[in-house]
Amino acid sequence: MIKKNTVVTFNYEVMDDSGTLLEKSSAPALYLHGGYGNVPQHLEQSLEGHEAGEQLQVRVEPGQGFGERDETLVRHELRSKFPEGKLEVGMRVEAQREDNNEPMTFTVTAVSDFGVTLDANHPLAGKTLLFNIEIVEVRPATADEITHGHAHGAGGHHH
């Protein structure tokens, strides 16, 4: 049963609230359960007490998941500020935040001959998400996993 300090192996699909598939596990994923911040808190609370073999659907509102979008994390730049050559939507680039000049990783969300739009919001921020979760396995966490705050092994962290 899923409770604090268990490691959960699961398959997942993430859809937006119109049912469009956004993301899907290609292999079972692992996480350490118990408030370690490995999965959105509301999702974790919904999984609490469930068993291997169960399937459930969890609805996660923006405030419970990856946060609301932050428009200060969007930058518009001149194309000429970037090296010539390949620059396309979906690429990840390092740039500075507009408000405090902290370096961050941005995703290119639009490119024209003149301008580039960069966005450092989590791609799922601001969206209501439906998670279809299939619980594959639940086991007690090892002492190392609890110390590190994450699951080890295939589908988890590797050191």
Footprint of Zn ion (CB under 5 A):
148, 157
Looking at beta carbons only, is 75 or 148 nearer to Zn ion? 148
In whole angstroms, how close is the CB of 92 to Zn ion at the nearest point?
A: 25
For the chain, helix (H) and strand (E) counts, in that order, are 2, 9
In whole angstroms, how close is the CB of 47 to Zn ion at the nearest point?
A: 21
Looking at beta carbons only, is 59 or 148 nearer to Zn ion? 148
Q: Are 33 and 27 in contact (CB under 8 A)?
A: no
In whole angstroms, how close is the CB of 136 to Zn ion at the nearest point?
A: 21
Cα–Cα dist 29/137, whole Å: 10
* Closest residue by beta carbon to Zn ion: 148
Cα–Cα dist 9/81, whole Å: 44
Cα–Cα dist 107/91, whole Å: 6
Looking at beta carbons only, is 111 or 146 nearer to Zn ion? 146
